[in-house]
Amino acid sequence: MWIRALRLTDFRNYERLELELEEGLNFFAGGNGSGKTSILEAVSYLAVARSLRGASDAEVVRGGSPGFGVGGDIVADGTVRSSTLRFAKGGKKEVTLDGEKQTLLSDLVGVLRVAWFCPEDTWLTKGGPAERRKLLDMTLCQLDPSYLDALSNYRRTLRQRNEALLSWTPDEESEALVDVWSERLLDYGSRVTVGRMRLLPRLAEAVAGFHENISGSDALGLRYRSTTTGVTGSGDDPRTENEVRSSFRDSLERVAADERRRGFTLVGPHRDDLEVRLGDRALRTFGSQGQHRTAAIALKLGEAAVLDSDGRGVVVLLDDIMSELDDQRAASLLELVGDLGQALMTSTKGAPALAAGRRSRSFVVEAGEVKRQ
């Protein structure tokens, strides 16, 4: 899987841009604010219909324009698919695949799979659980449309249940409303939890291998800490959906009084954590900056490897990540990324040295203009 052509219209500082990309490494060099990262951000729209930088759709519209468009030709399984996403201010996003308008934005997800690397990834190991849950969810959503459906419905149901709890009063009507949303929360939440726990053994194995390759030492491990099943483990203790649902129900009953007093849902996959451990200790509590950086890169490489586990490929997006690494680790990362598939890489410096035989293409970016070197 790789992007053969990328097209932008009124996206960030690009009025119009058309790029022909290499199947291997595509390197974009330019100063800060030149528009390098915007190219990677546009690719994220083709993969998951939103910005992986966390920007709103309106924020990426070029100043003075009514909307933006992102399009690409994606090569996968021996065929080429044309994918386009358009957004108009005040309206909704629209997606077309091979010229046909799609009913749902989620129809786009999975056509292109991406893994995004950036210097802020150290928050995966240093920060709170939200970023680590996001890693699991982004991986699973790109692999399994049914997981995306379960996660989207879980989030909607969680909002409704929280509203019911916030307005709860001690009467039958209020309790019945909370119960309705609780049943739906159990349905979708058990599917989300089981999906994450089944992913964990594959992800943990890949992450451990990459970490050893990059660091040369220290065992990096992953453990899933569930607020609903009471399980803290590596995921190799499989639970059925019914078993998880039963544990989830017990957990909701246990915190029922507290939830009604506080006005929000206290347990569920939205409160779970992926614990990253170096040796026998949680890395978040003691690791050095270098250890966090290496662990974060291993996590993202593991994500990319899992996305490519069926052999369909993955596009790796590296946003100025080399500036954070010494020469040896930078070279090691490039080799590992090169083995995964196509990569788009940005830097304020010159193109890196690549091993003989690696296919690459270099571009210079300046003020919304991209020129091939």
Looking at the chain, the whole-number percentage of residues with pLDDT higher than 70 is 95
Least confident of 153-157, 174-178, 271-275, 336-340: 336-340
- CATH superfamily for 123-307 is RecF/RecN/SMC, N-terminal domain (1.20.1050.90)
Q: In this predicted structure, what is the pLDDT of residue 236?
A: 63
Domain boundaries, the chain: 1-113+315-373, 123-307
CA–CA separation, 222 and 142 (whole Å): 21
If you average pLDDT over residues 264-279, what whole number do you get?
95
CA atoms within 13 A on the CB side of 7: 10
The answer to whether residues 209 and 216 touch, using CB atoms and an 8 Å cutoff, is no
Question: 1-113+315-373: what fold?
Answer: Rossmann fold (3.40.50)
If you average pLDDT over residues 127-153, what whole number do you get?
94
Summarize pLDDT for 219-244 with one digit per residue, the tens: 899 999 999 987 666 666 667 899 99
Q: In this predicted structure, what is the pLDDT of residue 231?
A: 66
Among left, alpha and beta (phi > 0; psi -120 to 50; other), residue 352 is beta
If you average pLDDT over residues 123-142, what whole number do you get?
92
pLDDT of 373 above 90: no
pLDDT of 356 above 70: no
Q: CA 252: distance to chain centroid? A: 29
**Confidence label for 96 from pLDDT (cuts 50, 70 and 90):** very high
CA–CA separation, 92 and 55 (whole Å): 16
Please determine whether the domains at 1-113+315-373 and 123-307 fall in the same fold group of CATH.
no
Q: In this predicted structure, what is the pLDDT of residue 218?
A: 67
Summarize pLDDT for 29-49 with one digit per residue, the tens: 998 888 999 999 999 999 999
Mean pLDDT computed over every residue of the chain: 90
- Cα 105 to Cα 48, 262, 268: the distances in Å are 8, 35, 26
Residues composing the chain: 373
Least confident of 154-168, 188-202, 213-227: 213-227
Structure tokens of 371? 């020129």
